[in-house]
């Protein structure tokens, strides 16, 4: 692959870019970690808008890293990269002898270029092998899930990770259609399993099933809590951790981990906290949680985006305070 090819392949529009640039405007000088670097769209704008910041970009996709390095070659002195999964956050910092950061950005899910390229196996529109690995060095792929899981387990992950109400019917159809070798075969089996009236709205009928299998293959929700905790711990007071999520499972985890970091406890309001809750962040209010109507109309990936932000503070132990109750 030529040096310019990755950049072209990964040309896409970053979601809620204006809002994210503003969020990082007043963080302390230092390093912001783009934990899902992709093609470098967010990172490029952060570097351009904020001279007091440099960027460490993490991605498990080597094509994405190559694209970002090519795109940001004019900012080489302010850009460092690490080929890692984002739950290896602390290891990525150690790769570059970084001990503290000014903030972190997680843009979750799959990038538009990954969806658009049939050979990566993420697309239900463009034919390709059943792959869906974000890290091409990983052995486990979508083929192992689709052709190896029993019907009950397929139904479970499609329901849990895809919020798909026809999960049982789809799982049965997948098992009946085996062996399945391509994304087109899988999309066809899923589509045929969904009642005709339900296919007429809500986008492509296979969208939720492909999402569920992708999450299972890459363990996305399993590694997210630890990655967020590592990011919060590494951030200096005044720094911010920012997350863009795209479905309810992701957002639920982000909300829960941020609530814990904000010191949420279950103790009765009128009594001192005895559960050992510790507050290390405050929830940042007043930032848009959703993309604008204008952005949603021009960038389909922005339609389901949900933005959450926390700001690091000096650590407060709730048991040292007077009655706190649940935050």
Each residue's pLDDT tens digit, 27-75? 999 999 999 998 899 999 999 999 999 999 999 999 889 999 999 999 9
Instruction: Give pLDDT, residue 138.
Output: 92
- Pairing mode of beta strands 278-283, 306-317: antiparallel
- CB atoms inside a 10 Å sphere around CB 26: 11
Note the helical H segments in the chain.
Answer: 4-9, 17-23, 41-49, 62-71, 89-95, 112-116, 142-148, 151-162, 167-177, 183-193, 196-199, 207-218, 220-234, 248-261, 293-298
DSSP 3-state assignment of 140?
Answer: coil
Class of the CATH domain delimited by 123-218? mainly alpha
Q: Residue 7's pLDDT is what?
A: 42
Domain regions of the chain by residue span: 4-107+220-320, 123-218
Specify the higher pLDDT residue, 2 or 115. 115
Residue 322 has pLDDT above 50, yes or no: no
The two three-digit tokens of residue 212, written as one number: 């569920």
197 CB contacts (<8 Å, ≥6 apart)? none
Mean pLDDT, residues 158-182 = 97
| Burial of 315 (C-beta count, 10 Å sphere; 0-12/13-18/19+) | exposed
Residue 320: the pLDDT is: 55
**pLDDT per residue as tens digits for the range 265-293:** 777 777 777 777 899 999 999 999 999 99
- Per CATH, which fold does 4-107+220-320 belong to? Rossmann fold (3.40.50)
b/e map of 228-267 (b: 16 or more CB within 10 Å)?
bbbbbebbeeebbbbbbbbbebbbebbeebbbbbbbbbeb
Query: Residues 207-266: pLDDT tens digits?
Result: 999 999 999 999 999 999 999 999 999 999 999 999 999 988 999 999 999 999 999 877
Cβ–Cβ < 8 Å for 7, 199: no
CA distances to 42, 231, 326 from 186, in Å: 33, 37, 46
pTM of the predicted model, to two decimals?
0.88
Report residue 92 as tokens: 């990525």
Cα–Cα dist 96/75, whole Å: 17
pLDDT at 99 over 90: yes
- Return the pLDDT at 199: 92
Q: How far, in Å, CA of 70 to CA of 5, rounded?
A: 9
């Amino acid at each position: 692959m030529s040096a310019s090819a990755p950049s072209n392949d990964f040309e896409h529009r970053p979601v809620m870019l204006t809002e994210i640039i503003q969020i990082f405007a007043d963080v302390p000088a230092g390093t912001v970690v783009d934990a899902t670097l992709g093609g470098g769209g967010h990172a490029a704008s952060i570097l351009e808008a904020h001279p007091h910041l440099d960027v460490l970009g993490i991605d498990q996709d080597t094509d994405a890293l190559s694209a970002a390095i090519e795109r940001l070659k004019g900012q080489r002195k302010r850009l460092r990269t690490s080929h890692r999964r984002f739950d290896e956050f602390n290891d990525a910092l150690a790769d570059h002898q970084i001990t503290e950061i000014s903030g972190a950005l997680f843009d979750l899910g799959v990038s538009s270029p990954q969806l658009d390229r049939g050979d990566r196996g993420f697309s239900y529109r463009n034919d390709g092998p059943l792959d869906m690995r974000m890290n091409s060095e990983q052995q486990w792929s979508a083929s192992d899930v689709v052709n190896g899981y029993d019907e009950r387990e397929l139904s479970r992950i499609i329901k849990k990770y895809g919020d798909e109400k026809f999960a049982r019917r789809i799982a049965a159809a997948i098992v009946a259609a085996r062996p399945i070798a391509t994304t087109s075969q899988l999309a066809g089996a899923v589509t045929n399993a969904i009642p005709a009236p339900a296919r007429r709205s809500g986008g492509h009928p296979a969208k939720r099933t492909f999402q569920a299998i992708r999450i299972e293959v890459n363990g996305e929700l399993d590694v997210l809590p630890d990655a967020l905790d590592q990011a919060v711990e590494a951030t200096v007071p005044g720094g911010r951790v920012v997350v863009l999520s795209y479905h309810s499972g992701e957002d639920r985890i982000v909300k829960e981990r941020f609530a814990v970091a904000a010191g949420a406890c279950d103790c009765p309001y009128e009594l001192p906290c005895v559960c050992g809750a510790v507050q290390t962040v405050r929830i940042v209010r007043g930032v848009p949680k959703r993309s604008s109507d204008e952005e949603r109309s021009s960038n389909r990936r922005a339609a389901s985006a949900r933005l959450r932000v926390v700001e690091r503070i000096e650590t407060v132990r709730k048991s040292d305070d007077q009655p706190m109750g649940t935050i």
